[in-house]
Structure formats: C-alpha cells, structure tokens
Structure 1
Amino acid sequence: MTDSSVDILADNIRETHDVLAARLSDAQESRPTRDLPRDRFRAIDPFLASASRHVAAVNAVLVPAARRLLADGSDRTRELARQSKRLEQALAQAKAKLYGSSFAVRRPWDSIWADVEQELGRQRELEEGLVGDLAEVTDEPDRAELADRLYEAEQHVPTRPHPYLPHGGIAGKVARGVALWVDRFWDTAEGRMVPEPVRPHRSREGRMVQYLLADPQLRGASGEQRD
C-alpha cells in the first residue's frame, strides 16, 4: 500500500536530477589517457543520453499535464519549453565538442560545462516548481501515474539533444518519433551506452534501507543495477 504522504512524482524528479548531476560531475572530471583514450566518451555519452531523454520525456508528459491542470499552465509550460531548448543547445555543444565538430572544437571544455551546469540547474528549478504546483491540484494516485508515464516515456524518446525540433503538440510527438529512430540507429552503430532512467519508487525509504531490503531497483549514478 502506498503511503499517502509520498509524492512519487516530486521524488522521481528530484532523484532523476540528482543522478544527472552525478553523471555531469563524472563527465566534467573525465580525461583521456594513453590507457583509456576514450574515457571522455565513457563518461560524457551516458550523461548526454540520460539528460536528453529526460528533457524530451518532460516535454512529452509533464508539460501537457501542467498546461491542462494549472491556471497559468500555458505560460509556465512555454517557459519550460524555452528552457528545454536552451539546455539542449548546451548539450549539443558538448556532443559537438566530444565528436570533434568544427563548430565546437576550439571551445574549451570548461566553458561548455559551465553552460550545461547553468541550464541544467535552471531546468531543475522549473520542473520542481511545476511539480510542486501540480501537488496542489492533484491527488497522489494521479501524480504516481504521471511519474510512471514519465518513466515509460524516457525509454521511448530521443537519446541525443535536438534543440531545433518542435517540443510540444502533435508536431513534437512526430519529431520525437523520427529523432528516436535516427538516434537508435547511430547509438547501435557507435556502440553507445544509454543508461536506464530512474524508476519511480513507492516509498521514501532511503538507499540504505533499499539496499538492506535487496531492492532490485537500486541503481548507481551511471544507471547500472547494483546487486
């Protein structure tokens, strides 16, 4: 039985951004060496994939719900769509730098990561604000359903940033479907690792309690399941 005091949606958004922050930190600290010449790919690709998926899923699931349920939903979701584009632009710069694009090759990593960190932080603020306001107009089962839909959506959205594609409505849905097909092709061709999204939890038991209970959903920052 689910504890009525648990806000599964808010918890899921918070935990997802905690995981993204940890992966960003890993990406920022990665350095290629003679023994590990592709170390940056190992660290940066999982972050780019998980951040891109989360942004796309939020626009597919959370944005329509907020627009429908909140009095100022239209204005708020337009702001989130604009912020999503800014974050995806920053992620696209990191991807371009990683793969040696001439558009970013001369730009230092510190500058790129500063933009990503700033835009990801702003994205988190807007998402948590929307989720907090949704808690005022919905009950716990509705928010749990949104969390489940967000989790499912993250597994069926693009794995790379696409800042210039439509984000909302039918056009956004169609664009995400096409981009997903293309991204999956290149992910397979490049052997790219795409982590699993954070699964919603039905309780606020801490990670230690989850570990002691042998919770199969306990995952590390990189997305791998821990035994």
Structure 2
Amino acid sequence: MTDNQLDDTTGAGVDTLADTVSETHDVLSRRLAEAESCRPTRERPRDRLRATDPFLASTSRHVQAACAVLGPAARRHLPDGRRRAHDLAQQSRRLEGALFQTKAKLYGSTFVVRRPWSSIWDEVTEEFDAWWRLEQGLVDDLTATTSTADRDAIAERLFRAEKHVPTRPHPYLPHQGVPGRVARGVAMRVDRFWDTAEGRMVPEPVRPHRSREGRITQYLLADPHLDGPAAEE
C-alpha cells in the first residue's frame, strides 16, 4: 500500500479547508459575542475597546483574505464561480460597512454618536451571518468539486493571505481582481503603520491543520496522530 493510499484511509472525514474556515467562524463568533456583551464601567472605561478591537481586526482581515483567495478559487473551480465571487465581494462590503460603523462608534466619531450600541451590533450580526452563509456555501461547493490537495492549498493560501491584508474595515476599496489586490496592499501598509503607532495587538489567524497525512508521513514528521481503531491496537 502506498503512502497516498494510507493518506486516504487515515484522514477520512478530515478536510483542511472546511475545518479551517469553520474554526475561524467559531473564533470570530466568540469574539463578536464577547464584544457585544461588554459593558464598560467607570473604573474600567476601556473594556469595550479591549473586547471589540480584536473582533474588528480579525474579522476585517478574514473577510479581505477570503475575497483574495476564495473568490478566485470559486471562479476557477465552480460553474457559477464568477457570480459567487461577485456576491462574496458585495457582502464583504456590507459587512465591512457595519464594521466601519462599529469602529467609528468605538472611537467616538461624531457621525454615529447618537446611534445606540444595540443598533450597531444588530447590523453587525446580520451582515456577519449573511457573510458566513455565503462563505460556508462556497467552501461546501469547493469541497464537492476539488481534490484534497487543492483544498489543502487553498486553506494554506487563505492563512498566508490573512497575514498580508488590511486589519481594518475598508468597505469602499475594490475587492476583486487586480484593483482589489493593489488596494489591499496599500491599505495593509497603512493599517500596519497605525497598528504599530497605536500599539494595537492583532490576533493571529487560524492555522490550517494538516489533513490526511499517511502513517509514513506521520512517522517521518515524528508527529503521530492516528485516529480510530488502528490507533487503539
């Protein structure tokens, strides 16, 4: 039996792309819940900033990375991929618009000073859920139409992209094609400057877990993680 055959048997049910995106969604959902539930006090007036900023940074980054990676993957592998990529970009703008409002409220912008936090969070939650439905649908369809190697590569590109995209919402910048790539590069450098100047801590993205590694591969990596009955023998 070859190592590739072992890969197919020992990694059954594991999908790097689906697992990475699902885990990222869980992390972002948890940060959203923490930010929404935070109530600063007179003694701790900056609690809302500390709770909300990680959500803003990680969500902005993931949305931009998905447009940079999942959109092109959809166009390449799905029959209706061009439309799906366009829909993803449009929903990205709507979600980033809601995040932009959140950031403005968080930092005391006069444009949203009269808007209550409950209204802000209702909009963010609505757009975040709509985004997740689109992203999950794309990943499900990519899972059905691409090879394991393709999905592993997409997951790795998504992870790497999250390290090289803006960390703040930019709803009015291009999100697709060459203009989107150029805009992300410029915005990333500007955001990185301000992150450094403000001492802003940006959480690390979810790293893809290796999937479908055969026993020979695990042995060579000195990283055995066999599952199922074979692991108990």
Report the TM-score, using the length of structure 1 for normalisation. Answer: 0.87
1:193 aligned counterpart, secondary structure = coil
Deviations for 1:98-127, whole angstroms, at most 9, x for unmatched residues?
Answer: 011111111101000011011111111101
Partner of 2:83: 75
Q: Structure 2: state its 5+ residue gaps.
A: 1-6, 213-222, 224-233
State the 1:34 CA deviation: 2.7
Q: Does 1:45 align with 2:53?
A: yes
Give the aligned partner of residue 158 of structure 1.
Answer: 166
Q: Deviation at 1:7?
A: 1.3
Q: Considering only aligned residues, what root-mean-square deviation do their CA atoms show, in Å?
A: 1.5
Alpha-carbon distance in structure 1 between the residues aligned to 2:71 and 2:139:
10
Indicate yes or no: 2:99 matched with 1:91.
yes
- Residue 140 of structure 1 corresponds to which residue in structure 2? 148
Matches of residues 4-83 of structure 1 in structure 2 within 5 Å? 4-83=12-91
CA contact under 8 A between 1:4 and 1:140: conserved in structure 2? Answer: no
Aligned to 1:177: 185
Count of matched residue positions in the alignment of Structure 1 and Structure 2: 205
Q: Measure, in 2, the Cα distance between the counterparts of 1:6 and 1:131.
A: 14
Unaligned runs of 5+ in 1: 205-214, 216-227
1:5 positional shift: 2.8
Identical pairs, percent: 66
Q: Hey, what's the Cα distance between the residues in 2 that align with 1:76 and 1:161?
A: 21
Report the alpha carbon displacement of residue 35 of structure 1 after superposing the two structures with TM.
Answer: 2.7
Native 8 Å contact 1:89 1:163 kept in 2:
yes
Q: SS state of the match for residue 172, structure 2?
A: coil
User: Higher mean Cα deviation, 155-164 or 132-141?
Assistant: 132-141
Residue 101 of structure 1 pairs with residue 118 of structure 2 = no
Normalised by the length of structure 2, the TM-score is 0.85
Give yes or no for contact 1:86–1:119 (8 Å, CA) kept in 2: yes
Aligned to 2:122: 114
Runs of 4+ in 1 over 6 A off after TM superposition: none
